[in-house]
Amino acid sequence: MAKATTIKGGKFRVLLGDDADPIVYTAPCGFTQRSITLNKGLEEVNIPDCDDPDKIDWLGRDATSLSMSISGEGVLAEQSVETWLDGFESIESVPAKVEWEFPTKTITWTGFMHIESLEAGAANAGRATLNVSMQSDGEMARTVTPATP
């Protein structure tokens, strides 16, 4: 049985872009946990049996939309707090990139996302933390790049 090829958290990156042309992406400091959710909106329709109208219908589903959401958390790092606050306060979506770097290839999504929420917290004697939630704004284009030897 072949062993699964996996990656560690540092090879799963969420990067935010600037307003430069071309866009320069950087990973916000302090992000220690991140997750990506790919969503497909579905519309349901009943499909009847033409030969037996009294038979229970099967349910058909048509894809109507795609979206991506990202959530993450970590320490509230001074080096990236302005980036998060500027993105949240903007009425425009911000350039975003997600990378999964495997030994043989890197899977990348690029597009624009809204920073939907920021939640900061701290316990007495503990470090301040930040939770972030982002939602795609239009297409997140996926590319696959082979690893360079």
For the segment 56-109, what is each residue's pLDDT rounded down to a tens digit?
A: 999 999 999 999 999 999 999 999 999 999 999 999 999 999 999 999 999 999
Q: Which tokens sit at 99? A: 């990378």
CA distance 124 to 46: 56
Q: What's the confidence (pLDDT) of residue 149?
A: 75
The rounded radius of gyration (Å) of the Cα atoms in the chain is 20
Q: What's the confidence (pLDDT) of residue 35?
A: 95
Q: What's the confidence (pLDDT) of residue 19?
A: 86
Q: Which tokens sit at 37? A: 């959710």
DSSP H/E element including 81: helix 78-89
CA distance 15 to 26: 5
C-beta neighbour count of 113 within 10 angstroms: 26
Cα-flanking dihedrals φ and ψ of residue 131, to 5°? -110, 135
CA-based torsion, 25, 68, 118, 9: positive or negative: negative
In 3D, which of 42, 17, 22 has the Cα closest to residue 110?
Answer: 17
Mean pLDDT of 29-57: 95
CA distance 66 to 139: 8
Cis upstream peptide for 103 (omega within 30°)? no
Model confidence band, residue 148 (pLDDT cutoffs 50, 70, 90) = confident
Q: What is the mean pLDDT of the chain?
A: 95
